[in-house]
C-alpha cells in the first residue's frame, strides 16, 4: 500500500466517496464490508456470503461477523465525522445480540455519542430488512490521540 | 483421578473435532480458526495470521473484527465443553477490551473458560494472546443463552 491509510481516508472524505473507506482495508474486502450514503446517512453494509455463517442449521450469521460490521461501522462513522488526524484505536466494544442474523445483507448505523479530546464513544445498531427490529447493538469507545505505537488499544 | 491420556489419541481427537468444527461453521473455516485444546468448560483456539484479516494496511495489525470472531467462537466452545448434553447456544452479549495491538505477522491464541452455567444462561471469560496468557492482547467477557429443546428438558422449573 503506497499511501498511508489516513490519507486515503482524507481523500475519500474530500471527494465524498464513503465507498473508498473500505477498499483500503484488507479485512473489510475479505468480509464484504462496505460504507454507503443512503438517504443522507452513512451506513455500513455486510453483504451476505455463505462464509459469514456461524450456524448453518438455522442458518444464522456468525456473531463475530456481526461484531465486525458493528466495529467497522463505528470506526468509519468516527473517521467520517470527527476531525481526527490519527486512526482511532478500539479500546473496547460491547455487543448485544438481539436476534439471529438471517442469511441476507445486514446494515448498520453508527452514532457518535460523544467526542472528547482523547476518547470517542460510538453506539451502533445493525438490522436486516426491518430497521426497527435491530439484530444487534454495540457500544464502543476509541482512543483518538496520536501517540507512540503499541500503547493502548487495537489499531483500526 | 483422570487417566493419563495417550497424546496421539488426543491429537487424533482434536483433528476430528477440527474437521467437524470447520464443516459445521463456515465462518470459522473462512478465518482458518483451529481448536488447540479442549477441557471441562474450557477451550483454546488459534487464529492464524493472514494478510486478508489486516485492519490497518500501514502496520499489518489484525482488524478487531477478526479478534471478535475468535473470542466469540472460543467462548462458545468453552460453553459447549460445560454442557451435560449438547444444545444449541446463542451469544447474548460479548464485551471485548483491546489491551494492546496484536503483533503483525503473528498468530493469535484465545483461551476461554465457562465459569458459571445455569439452566438458561452460561457465563464466560477469556483472553487473546500471542504466547503468554499473562500478557494478553485482548480480554473478553460473554454470556450465552442455552436453547431449550421441547420435550428434551432435563427438569421442570
Per-residue pLDDT of A25-34, as tens digits, reads 999 999 999 9
Position B22 scores a pLDDT of 64
- Which one of A51, A126, A155 makes the best mutation probe of the B interface by having the most chain B beta carbons within 10 Å? A155
Nearest Cα to Cα of residue A55 among B24, B107, B84, B14: B24
Q: Is B25 on the interface with A (CB under 8 A)?
A: yes
Joined together, the cell numbers standing for residue B115 give: 465459569
Strand-pairing partners, residue A90, are A142, A154
- Angle subtended at Cα A127 by Cα A34 and Cα A68, rounded to the nearest 5 degrees: 45
Q: Are A112 and A104 in contact (CB under 8 A)?
A: no
pLDDT at A75 over 80: yes
Position B152 scores a pLDDT of 45
Q: Where are the beta strands (DSSP E) in chain A?
A: 33-38, 41-46, 53-55, 60-61, 89-97, 106-115, 119-127, 136-143, 154-155
Position B154 scores a pLDDT of 44
Query: Do B91 and A153 make contact, defined as CB atoms within 8 angstroms?
Result: no
Query: Do B28 and A62 make contact, defined as CB atoms within 8 angstroms?
Result: yes
Q: What is the mean pLDDT of chain A?
A: 89
Q: For chain A, what is the radius of gyration of the CA atoms?
A: 15
Domain spans in chain A, listed from the N-terminal domain onward: 5-143
Query: Do A96 and B59 make contact, defined as CB atoms within 8 angstroms?
Result: no
Smallest Cα distance from A91 to chain B, Å: 5
Q: Cis before residue A59, ω within 30 degrees of 0?
A: yes
Q: Is B125 helix (H, G, I), strand (E, B) or coil?
A: strand
* Higher-scoring residue by pLDDT: A52, B17: A52
**Percent of chain A at pLDDT exceeding 90:** 65
- Which one of B21, B56, B79, B147 makes the best mutation probe of the A interface by having the most chain A beta carbons within 10 Å? B56
Query: Which of B24, B30, B55 is facing A156, going by the closest CB pair?
Result: B55
Joined together, the cell numbers standing for residue B60 give: 499489518
Position B156 scores a pLDDT of 38
Q: Within a 10 A sphere around the Cβ of B5, how many other Cβ atoms?
A: 9
Joined together, the cell numbers standing for residue B147 give: 436453547
Q: Are B89 and B25 in contact (CB under 8 A)?
A: no
Residue-wise pLDDT tens for chain B (157 aa)? 455 556 677 777 777 676 666 667 899 999 999 999 999 999 999 999 999 999 988 899 999 999 999 999 999 999 999 998 888 888 999 999 999 989 999 999 999 999 999 999 999 999 999 999 999 999 999 999 998 755 444 443 3
Give tens-digit pLDDT for A85-106. 788 899 999 999 999 999 999 9
Query: Do B26 and A149 make contact, defined as CB atoms within 8 angstroms?
Result: no
Position A107 scores a pLDDT of 98
Q: Is A130 helix (H, G, I), strand (E, B) or coil?
A: coil
pLDDT at A12 over 90: no
Position A18 scores a pLDDT of 87
Q: Is B72 on the interface with A (CB under 8 A)?
A: yes
Q: Are B109 and B145 in contact (CB under 8 A)?
A: no
Position B89 scores a pLDDT of 87
Q: In angstroms, rounded to a whole number, what is the distance separating the alpha carbons of residues B93 and B3?
A: 36
Position B149 scores a pLDDT of 59
Q: Are A139 and A94 in contact (CB under 8 A)?
A: yes
CB pairs under 8 A between A and B: 163
- Judging contacts by C-beta atoms under 8 Å, the chain A residues touching residue B27 are 51-54, 61-62, 64-65
Query: Which of A62, A92, A97 is facing B96, going by the closest CB pair?
Result: A92
DSSP string across B56-86: ETTTTEEPHHHHHHHHHHHHHHHHHTT-SS-
| Cα A22 versus chain centre, distance | 9
Predicted-complex ipTM score: 0.88
pLDDT at A114 over 90: yes
pLDDT at A149 over 60: no
- Which one of B55, B99, B130, B143 makes the best mutation probe of the A interface by having the most chain A beta carbons within 10 Å? B55
Please report where in the chains the cell 451476505 appears, as a residue.
Answer: A48
Strand-pairing partners, residue A121, are A114, A141
Mean pLDDT for the stretch of residues A7-35: 90
pLDDT at A43 over 50: yes
Query: Do B66 and A68 make contact, defined as CB atoms within 8 angstroms?
Result: yes
- Judging contacts by C-beta atoms under 8 Å, the chain A residues touching residue B30 are 51-52
Domain spanning A5-143: CATH superfamily: Hotdog Thioesterase (3.10.129.10)
Strand-pairing partners, residue B109, are B46, B129
Q: In angstroms, rounded to a whole number, what is the distance separating the alpha carbons of residues A155 and B100?
A: 8
Q: What torsion, rounded to 10 degrees, do the Cα atoms B33, B38, B20, B54 define?
A: -10
Please report where in the chains the cell 462496505 appears, as a residue.
Answer: A34
Position B6 scores a pLDDT of 61
Amino acid at each position: 500500500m503506497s499511501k498511508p491509510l489516513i490519507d486515503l481516508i482524507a481523500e475519500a472524505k474530500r471527494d465524498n466517496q464513503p465507498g473508498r473507506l473500505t477498499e483500503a482495508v484488507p479485512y473489510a474486502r475479505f468480509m464484504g464490508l462496505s460504507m454507503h450514503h443512503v438517504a443522507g446517512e452513512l451506513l455500513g453494509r455486510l453483504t451476505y456470503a455463505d462464509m459469514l455463517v456461524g450456524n448453518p442449521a438455522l442458518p444464522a450469521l456468525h456473531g463475530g461477523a456481526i461484531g465486525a460490521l458493528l466495529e467497522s461501522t463505528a470506526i468509519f462513522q468516527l473517521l467520517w465525522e470527527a476531525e481526527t488526524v490519527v486512526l482511532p484505536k478500539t479500546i473496547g466494544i460491547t455487543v448485544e445480540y438481539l436476534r439471529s442474523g438471517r442469511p441476507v445483507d445486514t446494515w448498520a448505523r453508527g452514532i457518535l455519542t460523544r467526542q472528547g479530546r482523547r476518547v470517542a464513544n460510538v453506539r451502533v445498531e445493525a438490522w436486516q430488512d426491518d430497521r426497527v427490529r435491530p439484530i444487534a447493538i454495540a457500544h464502543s469507545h476509541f482512543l483518538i490521540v496520536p501517540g507512540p505505537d503499541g500503547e493502548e488499544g487495537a489499531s483500526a | 483421578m483422570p487417566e493419563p491420556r495417550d497424546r496421539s489419541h488426543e491429537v487424533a481427537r482434536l483433528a476430528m473435532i477440527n474437521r467437524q468444527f470447520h464443516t459445521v461453521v463456515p465462518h470459522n473455516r473462512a478465518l482458518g480458526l483451529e481448536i488447540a485444546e479442549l477441557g471441562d468448560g474450557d477451550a483454546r483456539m488459534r487464529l492464524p495470521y493472514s494478510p486478508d484479516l489486516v485492519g490497518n494496511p500501514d502496520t499489518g495489525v489484525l482488524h478487531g473484527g477478526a479478534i471478535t470472531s475468535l473470542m466469540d467462537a472460543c467462548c462458545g466452545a468453552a460453553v459447549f465443553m460445560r454442557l451435560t448434553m449438547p444444545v444449541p447456544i446463542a451469544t447474548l452479549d460479548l464485551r471485548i477490551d483491546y489491551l494492546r495491538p496484536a503483533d503483525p505477522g503473528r498468530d493469535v491464541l484465545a483461551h476461554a473458560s465457562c465459569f458459571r452455567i445455569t439452566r438458561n444462561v452460561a457465563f464466560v471469560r477469556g483472553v487473546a494472546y500471542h504466547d503468554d496468557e499473562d500478557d494478553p492482547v485482548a480480554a473478553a467477557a460473554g454470556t450465552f443463552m442455552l436453547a431449550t429443546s421441547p420435550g428434551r428438558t432435563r427438569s421442570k422449573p
